[in-house]
Structure 1
Amino acid sequence: MNFFQSLAAALTPAGLVWTALIFTVIVFLHELAHYALARAQGVPVKSFSIGMGPVFFRRVWRGTEWRLSLLPIGGYVEIEGMAPVEGEDGQLRAPSTGFAALRAPGKIAVLLAGPLMNLLLGIGLMTLLFTAQGMPAPDRARIEAVVAGSRAQALGLRAGDVITGVDGRDLPETAQLNGQEVAGYELVRAALNEAGPHTFTVLRGGGTRDFRFEWQPTLNGKKQLLGIQYGPDVTRVGVAQALATSVTNTAQAAPQVLKSFAQLFGRFLTLDLSRDENVSGPIGTAEIVSRAAALSPWALVQVAVMLNLSLAFFNLLPIPGLDGGRILLVLLGALRGKALTLAQENAINFAGFAFVMGLMLFVFLRDLGRFF
């Protein structure tokens, strides 16, 4: 299979459409939050575009030119006082009105609004998932399907069975597996990697029963399969508990997401193009969305949660050009008692922009490399 065939197999038309739609909604709401906080403080907003590139529709409403642009990949908002203005002599100078005239707390509120919107949207969608589908119970493994003619079917295992224990011990919520912390239900997989007698304690119809069997992970050099598809069991919860768990999960995810970004920066600085499962570029993301679109609408919601949280955390990084970098410059100006000069701010923002663009190109090339 050549490069183009591999790429076409990974990216379905429905997946590409959903990717564009999800990104557009996420970025639109991000920019809408910046717009709302600016307008709430009396700062004019010159334009608001849904999409990027050439504008094919525009209309002025409430002092803002609302645009529809050709490329459905996000959008942008142009807030007065955030960009240099041209003086009467034709030279660019620092703005003194609009955003530039706000005090530090007001500026930070405008800049923080976008990432905060994505954070809240991610938490809200996660809450919706938990309320509608139940909350994952990592200390139980639900058998979702049993392969016909498999060893599992011969043992009497059925779809809907819930494995609560392995080899006489209850499954924990978390466990150590190959030096990494994993959900307890992954111990089912660990047991099937070990030869010998095994016991699965299964909850069925309100009661429990044990299934005992001898197991060989490989036979005549061929990997053996028990014949079950499984995942974490779920617990039905109300909105309040779903919301509390969503907030907790987001807080717990932050260090891991930041660690993934740090590893990505390290790979970028050393030009290490080896595959990294923790961070995906546009092609990898479209591939994930394509797989999710083939599963269910709820799988797409899960992807939207991941993208919102990733965008929120990434934008809060103190890198010039990102919202976090702009917040850092505002705080630096407040500590100095005066804003940076236009030349200083332009130089810092240019360096940050170049870094982010280089990083995006690096991730894109690494994505492409998987298909060669």
Structure 2
Amino acid sequence: MNVLQGIAAALTPAGLLWTLLIIGIATFLHELAHYALARWQGVAVKSFSIGMGPILFRRPWGGTEWRLSLLPIGGYVEIDGMAPQEGPGGVYRQPTRGFAALPALGKVAVLFAGPLMNLLLAVGLMTAMFTSQGVPAPDRARVERVLPNSRAQALGLQNGDVIVALDGRPIPETYTVGGQTRAGWESVRDALAQDGRKTLTLERAGQRRDVTFDWQARVGGQQQRLGIQYGPDVRSATVPVALATSLRTTAQAVPQVLRAFGNLFTRFLTLNLSPDENVSGPIGTAEVVSRAAAVSGWALVQVAILLNLSLAFFNLIPIPGLDGGRILLVLVGTLRGRPLTLAQEQAINVAGFAFVMLLMAFVVVRDVGRFF
């Protein structure tokens, strides 16, 4: 009972509704892209479902049965020629029409359209956010909060101050530590990890002032805190600048997302159930959305961006059962000069689907395990 109480305390009704809405929109657009690319090439789509499992509502329209299903854990489109055809005597054979009759490029286009749609949605949301809120300025650190009774408060720092230089040197856009490239504003933390006389050049209401003080990084073995919460400053941006920043941010996110998925697979194969902040299950996702809903609409937009990026990259992983796995099978068949046999393809897809289901179960178990 304590576990259920813990889960209930972490979630809010508004957070649950926003979670269903964000995931529902991401899923709908993902499947709609598959549907559109198939129909554009003249391939029939038998059904289109939001949700999985028992069908709650169905309505035929435009040659497709549109469905709403019970379990809000994804969706699917039933494209003609993807599944085996039933032949005489109930024997199934390799399909020869619809999707199966498309050239390799046409098949890849149908499969790639879903992840691409989520990627475009994330970029579009980022562009809207950067246009409205401004783009990050990595060479400027904005003080978001000065903690009460802190050294920073005694020095006269205020919320909204912008640190533009350290010890008389402008903050760079990037710097390298231990082979890792970081945004320049993070250098404030590294500067305060060293003893000595410090000078922060602040910008406030269009004017600059220097704050100089003696600093001891550790006292009695304890790391000292200046007492500020800070992050990158922002600059106003036109739509083209916001779009360019969105594309650059997406490209920079690729290695981070791949590392997170790689870490997840490693933990899954070693049955490591320890908490991992980089990958969340359904409960963790709803918890994040609940917190974001309590902050602002733009916080929800940021969560939607992350969910769409994750959905896009995850679906492109070359595991049978995912879009990336299906693309891989198409490419293998093209290189061989002939498609895989029905038995080979079914065996690979069943194994891939089982792996994905076990992986999802692992994520859910680890998600729930946080409350024990």
TM-score scaled to structure 2, two decimals? Answer: 0.93
Pairing of 1:294-313 with structure 2 (within 5 A):
294-313=294-313
Pairing of 1:65-76 with structure 2 (within 5 A):
65-76=65-76
In structure 2, distance between residues paired with 1:2 and 1:213: 49
Paired AA for residue 263 in structure 2:
Q
Paired AA for residue 209 in structure 1:
R
Residues 153, 123 of structure 1: alpha-carbon distance in 2 compared, 3 angstrom cutoff = same
Which residue of the partner structure matches residue 281 of structure 1? 281
Pairing of 1:284-363 with structure 2 (within 5 A):
284-363=284-363
Tell whether 2:193 aligns with 1:188: no
Which residue of the partner structure matches residue 143 of structure 2? 143
- Per-residue displacement from partner, 1:34-73 (whole Å, max 9, x unpaired)? 0001111111111111222222221111111111222333
Pairing of 1:44-55 with structure 2 (within 5 A):
44-55=44-55
In structure 1, distance between residues paired with 2:48 and 2:93: 23
Alignment gaps of 5+ in structure 2: none
Tell whether 2:80 aligns with 1:80: yes
Which residue of the partner structure matches residue 248 of structure 1? 248
Which residue of the partner structure matches residue 16 of structure 2? 16
Which residue of the partner structure matches residue 104 of structure 1? 104
Paired AA for residue 329 in structure 1:
L
**318-327 vs 263-272, which deviates more?**
263-272
Which residue of the partner structure matches residue 6 of structure 1? 6
Paired AA for residue 160 in structure 1:
G
Paired AA for residue 150 in structure 2:
S
**59-68 vs 221-230, which deviates more?**
221-230
In structure 2, distance between residues paired with 1:279 and 1:178: 25
Give secondary structure in 2 for the equivalent of 1:96.
Answer: coil
Which residue of the partner structure matches residue 265 of structure 1? 265
**Identical pairs, percent:** 70
How many residues get paired?
372
Q: In the TM superposition, what is the alpha-carbon distance from 1:315 to its structure 2 partner?
A: 1.0
In structure 2, distance between residues paired with 1:248 and 1:221: 41
Q: In the TM superposition, what is the alpha-carbon distance from 1:126 to its structure 2 partner?
A: 1.0
Q: Does the Cα contact within 8 Å between 1:26 and 1:74 map onto a contact in 2?
A: no
Q: In the TM superposition, what is the alpha-carbon distance from 1:352 to its structure 2 partner?
A: 0.8
Which residue of the partner structure matches residue 365 of structure 1? 365
Q: Does the Cα contact within 8 Å between 1:196 and 1:215 map onto a contact in 2?
A: yes
Pairing of 1:84-95 with structure 2 (within 5 A):
84-95=84-95
Give secondary structure in 2 for the equivalent of 1:371.
Answer: coil
Residues 279, 45 of structure 1: alpha-carbon distance in 2 compared, 3 angstrom cutoff = same
Q: In the TM superposition, what is the alpha-carbon distance from 1:257 to its structure 2 partner?
A: 1.6
Give secondary structure in 2 for the equivalent of 1:272.
Answer: coil
Paired AA for residue 314 in structure 1:
F
- Per-residue displacement from partner, 1:317-370 (whole Å, max 9, x unpaired)? 111111111111111112222211110000010111111111112222222222
Which residue of the partner structure matches residue 116 of structure 2? 116
Give secondary structure in 1 for the equivalent of 2:89.
Answer: coil
Give secondary structure in 2 for the equivalent of 1:237.
Answer: coil
In structure 2, distance between residues paired with 1:203 and 1:334: 60
Alignment gaps of 5+ in structure 1: none
Paired AA for residue 49 in structure 2:
S
- Per-residue displacement from partner, 1:296-316 (whole Å, max 9, x unpaired)? 111111111111111111111
TM-score scaled to structure 1, two decimals? Answer: 0.93
**273-282 vs 22-31, which deviates more?**
273-282
In structure 2, distance between residues paired with 1:292 and 1:142: 21
Q: In the TM superposition, what is the alpha-carbon distance from 1:218 to its structure 2 partner?
A: 5.7
Tell whether 2:234 aligns with 1:234: yes
- Per-residue displacement from partner, 1:245-270 (whole Å, max 9, x unpaired)? 21122122212222222222222222
Residues 86, 371 of structure 1: alpha-carbon distance in 2 compared, 3 angstrom cutoff = same
